[in-house]
Amino acid sequence: MTEQPQPLQAPPVQPPPEQSGARLHPLTPFVKGWGYFVVAAIAMVNNESLRSNLTLAGIGLAVVLVGGILLGALSWWFTKWQLTDEAIRVDSGFLVRRTRIIRFDRIQAIDVAQPFVARLFGMAELRMDVAGGGKSDGKLSYFTYDEAVKLRRILLVRAKGERAVEHSAEQPKPEPILTVPTNRLLGATLLSSTVIASAGGLVWLIIATTVLEFHIGLFAGLPLLLGVVQPIWKQVVGNHGFTLSESHDGLRTKRGLFDVQRQTVPPGRVQGLLITEPIIWRLLGWSRVELDIAGVAGNPAEGEDDREGAQLLPVGDRGEVAFVLARILPGLDLARIPMHQAPERAKWLRPIGWRYLSYGFDGQVLVTTRGWVSRRTSIVLHHKTQSVRLEQGPLQRRLGLANVHVDTPLGPTDAIALHRDQYEAAQVLEAQADRAREARRTAPSPFAVQTQPNPPSPEGSSSSAASPADDSSAT
């Protein structure tokens, strides 16, 4: 009797081991927490009792240093990140656990930044612009600079739907196409209205206190001094060496004397543009250009400015402004767009500024201008329009005027056609809604993302919806 062969059984499938994730650079706690030690040292130096007892002061600083290192080490130990098939996952927190899952298809752009202390140790952080999230949601710090650059390349390709990019070839270094001189940054900052007004107030306060013997007190000059120092620090130091380059990912900016900031402007992600021309700058032909980009606007819940966007050009002449606009939106030429001025009766509401109220459009964008002290030119792409609404206050109703608002995602762009004839405003409302609808139908949309529109005013307004807030073309 022959023995029947037993059927072969497949070996039991073992579940894949759970990925625990990787930790950040071991020096991350020091790079993040050095500021607390400096603040404690300054506070102790200013304390007279501690200055007289150096032993007690030294013990206090040692406690602050050791405590900060321990807390930072705990935070670092419980912070891990890992790449999954569809997202990057970040787990953090040792008392309250927090998990962030950033899907690849929500990533708009990724930049490598190097704060001053991180640069000293050759470290960098990743800053991911995530659609619908705040700026802090996409931060991951710190890595070595080479690791940050490699991870950025992996995430960018994963975000485009490709896989296995760990060994992809290095991309060539972007070629600079425009650089802003430091002397122009300094001159533009000193000639800004904020600095001039603060400096004038500070000079008057000094004269009133010392010469005229008014008992005002120089302590009242601290806000005025801050109004002079803060813009200089932000514009001159923050934008030092501003360079605009062109890469395969889009336009890329690099700026900063101490903290080096790099930012990428992905093609197709621009929501709108804002050109600002202070009155003294206009005499010199200077302007500033800012962008609305999905995922870049600040989160008010986190103390960020929801009107803050990407800076494309901190200060440039008219030729440079036209050059960068053409790079961002090929075919755009503001000089060729016919502008329609506000009716003369608008001077009852804007006695001087009514002459500078206008709007215009072409097949690609709608443009509005306003302001004579600081002129603002807002540019909105038709297919990025989220809604169009009409507002009319009581004085405007008596004058037969109305405002037309073109709503876009949160950012610096604020397109408003102010004080139009009410019948013209109604026509603009319907025409822009039609242009936006047609542009969304024909414009390509690489990713479907959620955005946050500017909140409309509920009082005294009517609207014509150009697109819902979660429309994929509104990114």
**Which residue, among 355, 360, 381, has the nearest Cα to 370 in the 3D structure?**
355
DSSP states along 238-268: TTTT-EEEEETTEEEEEE-SSSBEEEEE-TT
Instruction: Give the residue-averaged pLDDT of 438-454.
Output: 59
Q: Is the dihedral of CA 243, 276, 384, 450 positive or negative?
A: positive
Other CB atoms closer than 10 Å to residue 300's CB: what's the count?
12
Q: What is the pLDDT of residues 348-405, one digit of tens each?
A: 999 999 999 999 999 899 999 999 989 999 999 999 898 999 999 999 999 999 999 9
Q: Which of 69-83, 97-111, 202-216 has the lowest mean pLDDT?
A: 202-216
Confidence of residue 301 (pLDDT cuts 50, 70, 90): very low
Q: What is the pLDDT of residues 11-64, one digit of tens each?
A: 443 433 344 678 898 888 888 776 666 666 666 666 666 666 667 767 777 777
Q: Alpha-carbon distance 398 to 384, whole Å?
A: 33
Q: Which residue has the higher pLDDT, 363 or 445?
A: 363
Q: Which pLDDT score is estimated for 7?
A: 47
Q: What are phi and psi of 197, to 5 degrees?
A: -65, -40
**Which residue, among 225, 259, 255, 224, has the nearest Cα to 242 in the 3D structure?**
255
Q: Which pLDDT score is estimated for 217?
A: 59
Q: Point out which residues pair with 465 in neighbouring strands.
A: 387
Q: Which distant-in-sequence residues (6+ apart) come within 8 Å of 332 by Cβ? A: 325, 326, 364, 365, 379
Confidence of residue 133 (pLDDT cuts 50, 70, 90): low
Other CB atoms closer than 10 Å to residue 456's CB: what's the count?
14
Q: Which pLDDT score is estimated for 104?
A: 86
Work out the angle between the directed axes of helices 182-190 and 222-232 (0-180°, nearest 10).
Answer: 150
Tell me how far CA of residue 223 lies from CA of 220, 226, 228, in angstroms: 7, 5, 9
Q: Which of 85-94, 96-105, 127-136 has the lowest mean pLDDT?
A: 127-136
Q: What is the pLDDT of residues 256-294, one digit of tens each?
A: 988 888 888 877 778 889 999 999 999 999 999 998 876
* Cβ–Cβ under 8 Å, residues 406 and 388: yes
DSSP 345: G
Average per-residue pLDDT in the chain?
A: 78
Q: Is residue 251's pLDDT more than 50? A: yes
* Cβ–Cβ under 8 Å, residues 383 and 376: no
Q: Which pLDDT score is estimated for 472?
A: 35
DSSP 235: I
Of the spans 45-54, 103-112, 449-458, which averages the highest pLDDT?
A: 103-112
Q: Which residue bears the tokens 């070839």?
A: 169
Q: Is residue 109's pLDDT more than 70? A: yes
Structure-block tokens of residue 359: 């709007």
Instruction: Give the residue-averaged pLDDT of 316-336.
Output: 91
Tell me how far CA of residue 337 lies from CA of 117, 340, 367, 405, 417, in angstroms: 47, 10, 8, 19, 15
| Environment class of 41 (CB within 10 Å of its CB; exposed 0-12, middle 13-18, buried 19+) | middle
Confidence of residue 172 (pLDDT cuts 50, 70, 90): low
Q: Which residue has the higher pLDDT, 187 or 457?
A: 187
Share of the chain above pLDDT 90, in %: 30
Q: What is the pLDDT of residues 204-249, one digit of tens each?
A: 877 777 776 666 655 667 777 777 888 888 888 889 999 999 877 7
Q: What is the pLDDT of residues 152-168, one digit of tens each?
A: 888 878 876 554 444 44
* Cβ–Cβ under 8 Å, residues 358 and 378: no
Q: Which amino acid is at 103?
A: R
Structure-block tokens of residue 413: 């762009």
Instruction: Give the residue-averaged pLDDT of 425-434.
Output: 94
From the CA atom positions of the chain, what is the Rg in Å? 27
Flag whether the pTM goes above 0.85.
no
Q: Which amino acid is at 449?
A: V
Q: Is residue 295's pLDDT more than 90? A: no
DSSP states along 384-452: G--EEEEE--HHHHHHTEEEEEEE-BSSS--EEEEEEEHHHHHHHHHHHHHHHHHHHHHS--S------
Q: Is residue 463's pLDDT more than 60? A: no
Q: Which distant-in-sequence residues (6+ apart) come within 8 Å of 89 by Cβ? A: 21, 81, 82, 83, 99, 100, 101, 102
Q: Alpha-carbon distance 214 to 216, whole Å?
A: 6
